[in-house]
Structure 1
């Protein structure tokens, strides 16, 4: 990053820090009566129960001011054996993994071991010229220009590739654009960040996360390999509500490692309760310093010229009808994960982990937020695609 770019980044962060401090200090999040909370949750539960009849399944947690007010499983974790979904089951959280990677990087910033302005040349040798000046900040905000590691099909996304082979290939690929010039979502950028964590700490990425975050926060059901899960906690998964799939935990266990295409970018398993613990820890500033938490939530880059969404560090930052909202979703084409969080006063958390992947499943948390903010409205009906059974026959 050139000096002018570093200066611009620093000035932008200072302005946002001052503005957010003022806004967060003056924001008056409405306090609801217990009757209002109960009424809204009843409407949300009624919507989810109707969605369950139409094919939705998974676990949903809703929290108000840090306190859980809904935590239920809906539908079936295993359709063939009619096993109900529960909140104890562990789901692939997809790209929600990125928020742990971003927080891990900032933890190393807190320890003085790295800076977000550090370039790749500090951590990797023999880089092509056009990769040397890519910064950690650009990797965190998907503005690095790094091209994602190529794979022919979804199974290749979980193929194990030796470390040097993987990164040699990544750094040999042509850049999509000059670093810092635009936003382009990149899983590989976050895999590079997980490798930086390993190089700086001399620890495995998951071991590091467990040491600094998961174990201290009591997140015993979150990880790739370390949690002591029982196989009964693994739900089946269903693409489009019909095409069956399996959890990838046994694949991780068979090799006793996580493929680089996944590590740091996706594929962590968790429960709605563990993610609730994580959000509360951020809200209570038990994870990072207030200044570093603000960096997580800073809207650094507009995600498209028409979008009202901006990317922070591992989070999408956007405005809901009431206040700033942090958001992210994730998927491996079978599981679906989603967080909507209004962080001012920890007002609202909506966490959904589902074993159904479909457009309607991605819309469920948005419908929940809409019911919470405007309980007089009618939510959009949950529907799975009518042609899904045809796909199941030819799959």
Structure 2
């Protein structure tokens, strides 16, 4: 199933019809790509899921000594979410080392592995680890190892530059919103742009094992930790929520960047895929579950 907002406002003077080729910010649905990048490097023997974060991230505080890449992937590191870092402007670029220093200054919410606490900063650190391990920019790694091999020619990560068919985000009243920064602050956490059709392909190849071999595909798509939430999001794998909806197993993720709402899911029993991409905050994300029908 594909749902998209009817209109994509490119600027104040032009309104065009949205199509399956229109590119939207995936927001936290981008987190489905981050563990795929990590696991490709694990397959290569470059990264290890039990690697301490300090192996790949410089100058980590003593409090972080027990954090591994697995903890970052499963939101069990103890790092907080953006609300725990009010000094960070999500719309403003900062140097990656300055961003890390900010993360370092904020105490962990709990010891590593002692609880589940959703954390976009954890995924920023994973993207930085991918860059260091691969010796290439994160957006280039995604293009070379995921987007291009899978034929996702409308998908990219980071700032749009001069690309065409790029939606502009709007608030609930229809006014344009400035985008969040996606080159450093949002890297790995909410930086991917894609189309409805590309995202459907992505859901299929991940489920079918055409991107990750075993056991890495299963590691990503099955519960690694309990979230303490309701049955629909009762567990978290690597970059995906897992649970049951109307008695059926599924994995999924939602996302919200300034002016954008996104949702992607795969219902295993029926092989039904759901993609919702919107460039307005007027979209009601609470209606997503009933569409599985």
Contact 2:251 2:265 in 1 (8 A): yes
Q: CA deviation at 1:148?
A: 4.2
Contact 1:148–1:170 at 8 Å: present in 2 too? no
Counterpart for residue 246 of structure 2: 321
Q: What residue is the counterpart of 2:6 in the other structure?
A: 75
The answer to whether residue 168 in structure 2 is matched with residue 244 in structure 1 is: no
Corresponding residue for 1:366?
289
Contact preservation (8 Å) 2:5, 2:279: no
Q: Structure 1 residues 160 and 227 mapped into 2: Cα distance closer, same or farther (>3 Å)?
A: closer
What residue number does 2:35 align with?
102
Contact 1:73–1:85 under 8 Å retained in 2: yes
Q: By percentage of residues, which structure has more helix?
A: 1
Cα pair 1:221 1:229 within 8 Å, conserved: no
Aligned pair partner of 1:336 in 261, 264, 267: 261
Deviation of residue 228 (structure 1)?
A: 8.2
Q: Distance in 1 between matches of 2:7 and 2:54?
A: 49
Whole-angstrom distance in 2 between the partners of 1:73 and 1:305:
27
Distance of 2:17 and 2:44 partners within structure 1: 44
Q: CA RMSD in A?
A: 2.4
Q: Deviations over 1:145-174 (max 9, x none)?
A: 113462358xx2031111222212212321
- C-alpha change, 1:171 and 1:74, in structure 2 (3 Å) is closer
**Residues 168, 236 of structure 1: alpha-carbon distance in 2 compared, 3 angstrom cutoff:** closer
> Paired residue for 2:187?
263
Deviation of 1:107 (Å):
0.8
Contact 2:261 / 2:285 at 8 angstroms: preserved in 1? yes
Instruction: Specify which of 206, 228, 241 is matched with residue 304 of structure 1.
Output: 228
Tell me the residue number matched to 2:86: 151
Map of 1:1-395 to 2, 5 A cutoff?
A: 62=1, 74-78=5-9, 81-148=14-81, 150-151=85-86, 156-225=89-158, 230-231=163-164, 233-245=165-177, 258-259=183-184, 261-304=185-228, 309-344=234-269, 347-358=271-282, 361-370=284-293
Determine helix, strand or coil for the equivalent of 2:285.
helix
Decide whether the 8 Å contact of 2:168 with 2:259 is kept in 1. Answer: no
CA distance in 1, matches of 2:56, 2:251: 30
Aligned residues, how many?
Answer: 288
TM superposition score normalised by structure 1:
0.67
Unaligned runs of 5+ in 1: 1-61, 63-70, 253-257, 371-395
Residue pair 2:28, 2:189 contacting (<8 A) in 1 also: yes
1:196: Cα distance to partner? 0.6
TM-score, scaled relative to structure 2: 0.89
Residues 282 and 293, structure 1, Cα contact 8 Å, conserved in 2: yes
| Pairwise CA distance, 1:245 | 2.2
My pick for the range that moved more, 187-196 or 106-115, is 106-115
Between structure 1 and structure 2, the one with the greater Rg is: 1
Q: Secondary structure at the match of 1:198?
A: helix
